[in-house]
Every structure is written in structure tokens, then in C-alpha cells.
Amino acid sequence: MKGIVFSELVGFLDLAGGPVFAEKVLADAGLEHGGAYTRVGQYPWQEAVRVVEAASRESGADFASLCNQFGSYLFERFTVLYGDIVGRYNSAEALLSHVGDHIHEEVKVLYPDARPPEVRAYSEGETLRVEYASHRPFAHIAHGLVAGAMKHFGDERKLEWVHASEDGSSAGFALTR
């Protein structure tokens, strides 16, 4: 998994609990390199799980809730880091409808070895359905990313879980009125 996600995870921990909290979480996660990530590095996705598990133990917050919060934070960061891409869209629906066929294709250009998740969005009347599938168990992060997009664009619809695999590698969401 790309280092940019890891470096943003460390930034999230720092913002959520402060630098001492972040340092303690990274130490508790038992990472070989102590949590020193570079944005361009490649790291096992399992390390991200270990970091969130350690943050959950340290804070008492639910693992899934932390993933969801991180996803929302990550979308905010994407608006800064990739403002030119996010700025092409005028709504959460427009952006979400192009994650799989446009945004992730640009990710692959920037990072040829990247394996982004599959994201497909489609309309059913006034409802937007978003399907997520990955080799990584990050459905809760995906949910947070969708919620972050909705917040960014002022989309006031309700975000609901439609289904999720037990291992978190796939899920479906619905944006409803």
C-alpha cells in the first residue's frame, strides 16, 4: 500500500490525540521501522491495521469508528493534496461516479504499482449506490471517504450501509434522501 496513506494515518493520529498519542500508538503497533513512513514508499497494508488496532487500544475507541474517521480525514487531505483532481467535480455524486474509471486510473499513472480498490457508483432513482471491493479490509475507511466527499460537497443525503463482507474487503453504501 502506498506510503501516502500511511503518512496521512500518522497525521490523523497526531491531529486526533496529539504527538505523544501518535508516538505511543506507533510504538505499541510494533512496527519494524517505528512508523517512519515516506509518501512514496510501499508498505504492507497489514501495518495500517496494526496501527489502527493500537490506536483503538490506546484511546478506547472502536476500531471501525477510527477507520471511518480516518477515511473522512483522508478525503479532506485529498482535497489539499489532489485539489486539481477533486476540483474537477461539482458534487459528491459526480466524484463518486468517476472514482473507478477516472480517479483510480490517474492514481495508477502517478503510482504504476498501485492496486487501488474497485469502486463503482450508479444511480437508482434518487439513490446513489456505491460498491467497494478490495484485497484489503478497508470498507470502513471507504465509508469514511464517501462521508468526507459528501461533507466536502455539501451533500445532505443520508449515507447508509447496504451490505458488508465479514472481513471488510467489500461493502455497499447508499446515499438516500
pLDDT digits (tens, 9 = 90+) for 127-148: 999 999 999 999 999 999 999 9
Residue 134: how many CB atoms within 10 A of its CB?
A: 19
Q: How far is CA 27 from CA 16, 49, 148, in A?
A: 17, 14, 29
- What percent of the chain is modeled with pLDDT above 70? 96
Which pLDDT band, with edges at 50, 70 and 90, does 108 fall under? low
Burial classification of residue 33, based on how many CB atoms lie within 10 Å of its CB (0-12 exposed, 13-18 middle, 19 or more buried): exposed
Q: Quote the pLDDT of residue 100.
A: 77
3-state secondary structure of 131: strand
DSSP state of 155: -
Q: Quote the pLDDT of residue 55.
A: 98
Residue 89 to residue 1: CA distance in whole angstroms: 26
Which pLDDT band, with edges at 50, 70 and 90, does 104 fall under? low
**Does the pLDDT of residue 157 top 90, yes or no?**
yes
Q: Quote the pLDDT of residue 113.
A: 76
Beta carbons of 145 and 71 less than 8 angstroms apart = yes
Q: Cell 499513472 maps to which residue? A: 109
3-state secondary structure of 173: strand
Q: Quote the pLDDT of residue 40.
A: 83
**Does the pLDDT of residue 101 top 80, yes or no?**
no
Which pLDDT band, with edges at 50, 70 and 90, does 5 fall under? very high
**Does the pLDDT of residue 169 top 70, yes or no?**
yes
Q: Quote the pLDDT of residue 112.
A: 73
Across the range 54-66, mean pLDDT stands at 97
Q: Quote the pLDDT of residue 41.
A: 87
Helices 45-59 and 63-81: crossing angle in degrees, nearest 10, is 120
Q: Quote the pLDDT of residue 106.
A: 73
pTM attached to this predicted model? 0.93
Across the range 95-114, mean pLDDT stands at 77
Q: Provide the mean pLDDT of the chain.
A: 93
